[in-house]
Structure 1
């Protein structure tokens, strides 16, 4: 730019790490600084994070970036922020936090999800949002708070998400973006709030807590004087509110290139599987699961299914091995075990065991929702050793990926991969064979921060459209397509039906185990479910004016 401002800073606040990344106006990464984020879990299923500490960590990341990039403040043309999705970040008077945030990992809303999912109005909510109800979401969490912790909402002025909280601290503006607003309380077709979605959650009387919706490719606000003093950047620097991190990462990794829509999987701690589609091509499954999340491209959305645990499963089995070896008096670095994954996969027979990768304490949310779901091996015998189990875990991630894409329609013709595990050649081979499609990875190091920065680049007018920005920031960084092994693809094609049949059959077993893990919590969930079944469903009641409330609900779309 003529004034010498040639840097856009993308902020990506994940669950465990906050990153500040500097890009030049053409998309080249110039530097990155990160700060470890902290969250706390409890035996009651809670997973919380301090709002104050999260902002402080964001400030630290920006200061760390300033130490790496000479003259950063004067050179910064704009900032953009994205962050972990879902969760509930309540803010009260004087923009002060109302307690700690409930994260997407928080499982306390499970009884409320069971109650609401049993009502006919939930299908209408799903038809509007395109998103299945689960414990991760702000809507479910607020509905649970309204019933069990109303004082939290009573003391709040606004309900934000993580990126919205950081945007508030950067600009003083309370707002959210079209992606999180529409998949939580709105309609993915209009990208606005929707009365049907809000009513189905029983939150009409809490509607004033929902912030204004702004699109960061069109609207920016200046960095406030307070934020400038805290970060060392210049007051008045434009700030763009990005979309949720899932779609920002997919945007930066190539879910849409050369105006062509593709599939993209992020294989990190969790697994995020998405396909970019025109709005009228969205496939809403009969089970009512998954997400539909807007992209910052007119008329284009991403259809998403997410696994609660992806590489968390690999971390678990490697740490288990490391702990056992330590108990035997042999200390082994975790990194040494990671380095042996390729060898173990090359020396073991594929398809020998089945593994369901539901290792998260919150159960599973894609392509089915079950807070009791847990991981397990099927087919073990005395001939199997640790390498066989490790291979089964990796193949389980492949089967889970296929399961998610199957819930969105046909398998993709090409799969773009991002996340740390995408760097593993063997894992890429398993994923390619699981969906029987070539895979392609991007050389983009920080895809989430890049996606947010791309929004600022469009808002600044550096590019006239997002597609023109993609052509320069994303397309040149995509690697060569890697074709699946045809024999392995055929073997996984035979294995997949057994994988699905087994996880469907295990549901009552998971329920029994869940009751044993936490009898009080589980009994409360059963009580709520029974209450939902015996209480009149509002959709079946007749109003005093003679009209049925269900007449306010649009007809359900045909399912293919």
Structure 2
């Protein structure tokens, strides 16, 4: 038998499921990817076939085995992370109750608003450190309990995406401390909280909550059934990773001990976070997350935008659709290569764009399921390049908005996500938050983050800090300083951005009332299965 010198990280994101092989010291050896798919509907539903998700995960692992000799014999451990939030209900014989509700699902919006206004919500927020929003499992289960209780009646356990994959890999029903604590628990104890459960009105559903397993300490063996479909060896240790946003940040440099450093992931969503001790958390306002890190007493304070590159996807799809209507068919992904040229032909700061294009609204730094995207300041002289620049600048304004809600702006910003490969986007983010940016040479930060947990769990490193020192810190690139003129422009522009966001909230609410009264329209017809941001991020990875 070959030496067991490989750790596999599985990252089941919204766009794609990846299986990535690393050496025990963090060198990436190979990767295999399978596109992820989900379906939307006029009522705000965003659902995913659970069986197909597991089949796609197994296919990705088999693909990795095809590219790396003797992978099964060489694998010391594997770990899994995945898209966060959402509700993956499992019933008898570990079978899905129905398609999973994803984090993009907007059906729980009104239930979420009612819960957020209830007397117990302040205590729930203090326990979890996390504002209630539509994408969370707690809000979705509360909505199900009120409007479709049969789903919960048929369920035996409520899981998240990574938990569902872990169940198929090991036969163990479990979740991790990060999603358990920000959904139903207390980040200080990393356990479930009666206060949080009761505030959601789910005490009578508490039996659906699975055991909490910390994958940096405990593993379970790969089952015989999983071994048959993945090509790996039964008995291989499997680590249940934390939620993907903190795994990606861990792999990209959020926890290196550098004072003032922060980490943003610019993918389908925008995730902005900084690492602090759990006793140093200062809860401000009523938005954001506190999410545990797989390190002693360490958590991340997080503000997240529901949509980041989804905004660019929308703009490019609009352009492609218009060109196709004139008899010149275009695929929107083919327009990505034109972005840098459009940026060169436009002036910074001439338009404002609020990047709230998600059907589920926004969750950072304010929580409003009715928030919607829009341009402010359009004039007859503006052209498409100006609008594209405004969309990208909107991502920078949103990042500044989120870090401002956490306190001071970062002294250094680590970037990850496919779009972070864009020179133009990095420059705009650096100028927006007035801090140098660094991009890790790590290709697959999310898979690396959960693989690091497995490396600690099997004893390859004594603790996470030792693993970070070898897997993460050496891969951080040179700091790219913000352009002083751009920083001046965006510093002047940001107050108008924030003022517009606050002023538009009653407008968004009125529009939501209008939509509810009007009912579904032809424009909201059933959508095809899609993988948001996939084409844009792939193109960005191969571009500048």
TM tier, smaller:
over 0.9
Contact 1:143–1:201 (CA under 8 A) maintained in structure 2 = yes
- Describe the superposition over 1:436-458 as per-residue Cα deviations: whole angstroms up to 9, x where unpaired: 00000011111000000000000
Q: Distance in 2 between matches of 1:521 and 1:6?
A: 57
Query: 1:167 and 1:93 mapped to 2: Cα distance?
Result: 17
For residue 3 of structure 1, report the CA deviation from its aligned partner: 6.4
Deviates more, 1:126-135 or 1:328-337: 328-337
Alpha-carbon offset, residue 480 of structure 1:
0.3
> Is the contact made by 1:261 and 1:276 (CA closer than 8 Å) also made in structure 2?
no
Superimposed CA distance per residue, residues 490-549 of structure 1 (whole angstroms, 9 cap, x where no aligned partner) = 221111111111111111221222223232779xxxxxxxxxxxxxxxxxxxxxxxxxxx
- Residue number among 474, 483, 486 corresponding to 1:485 in the alignment: 483
Deviates more, 1:484-493 or 1:295-304: 484-493
The alignment status of 1:389 with 2:387, answered yes or no, reads yes
Aligned to 2:300: 302
Measure, in 2, the Cα distance between the counterparts of 1:385 and 1:199.
52
- Looking at structure 1, the residues matched to 36 and 258 of structure 2 have their Cα atoms a distance apart, in angstroms, of 36
SS at the partner of 1:292? Answer: strand
Contact 1:89 1:102 in 2 (8 A): yes
* Partner SS state of residue 180, structure 1: helix
Change (3 A) 1:313 1:48: same
Give the whole-Å Cα distance in 1 for the aligned partners of 2:130 and 2:124.
8
Partner of 1:107: 106
| CA–CA separation in structure 2 for the residues paired with 1:334 and 1:514 | 29
Q: Matches of 1:475 and 1:367 in 2, distance apart?
A: 29
| Map of 1:293 onto structure 2 | 291
Q: Distance in 2 between matches of 1:383 and 1:72?
A: 58
Comparing 253-262 with 265-274, greater Cα deviation is found at 253-262
For 1:221 and 1:317, the matched residues in 2 are separated by 45
Q: Give the number of the structure whose alpha-carbon radius of gyration is greater.
A: 1
| 1:236 partnered with 2:230 | no
Give the equivalent residue in structure 2 for 1:349.
Answer: 347
Shift of 1:146: 0.9
Q: How does 1:85-104 map to 2 (within 5 A)?
A: 85-104=84-103
Deviation string 1:255-302 (CA, Å, 9 cap, x unpaired) is 11257572111111111111111112223122x111100000111101
Structure 1 spans left out of the alignment, 5+ residues: 523-560
2-side partners of 1:521 and 1:147: how far apart? 21
List, as ranges, runs of 4+ consecutive aligned residues in structure 1 with deviation greater than 3 Å. Answer: 258-261, 329-336
Question: Per the alignment, in what secondary structure is the counterpart of residue 80 of structure 1?
Answer: strand
How many aligned positions are there?
520
Residue of structure 2 equivalent to 1:32: 31
1:366 is aligned, of 360, 364, 374, to 364
2:134 matched to which residue of 1? Answer: 135
2:318 matched to which residue of 1?
Answer: 320
Query: For the Cα contact (< 8 Å) 2:174–2:210, is it kept in 1?
Result: yes
CA distance in 2, matches of 1:461, 1:298: 16
Q: Determine if contact 2:316/2:333 at 8 Å carries over to the other structure.
A: no
Q: Matches of 1:475 and 1:376 in 2, distance apart?
A: 39
Shift of 1:119: 1.3
Asked if 2 retains the 8 angstrom alpha-carbon contact of 1:283 and 1:409, the reply is no
Call closer, same or farther: CA 1:174–1:156 in 2, change over 3 Å. Answer: same
- In the alignment, is the contact (CA less than 8 A) between 2:319 and 2:332 conserved in 1? no
CA 1:335–1:112 in structure 2 vs 1: closer, same or farther (change >3 Å)? closer
2:260 touches 2:412 (CA, 8 Å); kept in 1? no
CA contact (8 A) 2:260 2:411 kept: no
In the alignment, does 2:504 pair up with 1:506? Answer: yes
Matched, 1:429 2:455: no
Shift of 1:111: 1.1
Residue of structure 2 in register with 1:220 after alignment? 219
Distance 1:144 1:318 in 2: 34
Partner of 1:269: 268
Superposed displacement of residue 335, structure 1: 4.3
2:530 aligned residue: none
**Residues 263 and 273 of structure 1 are in contact (CA less than 8 Å); yes or no, is this contact kept in structure 2?**
yes
Question: Does residue 122 of structure 1 match 2:112?
Answer: no
8 A contact 1:261–1:277 mirrored in 2: no
* Higher mean displacement: 34-43 or 175-184: 34-43
In the other structure, the counterpart of 2:471 is: 473
Q: Which deviates further from its counterpart, 328-337 or 229-238?
A: 328-337
Q: Distance in 2 between matches of 1:16 and 1:339?
A: 20
Counterpart CA distance in 2 for 1:357 and 1:336 is 22
1:77-132 CA distance string (max 9 Å, x none): 00100000000111111111111111101111111111111112101100110000
Contact 1:432 1:439 in 2 (8 A): yes
Match of 1:211 in 2: 210
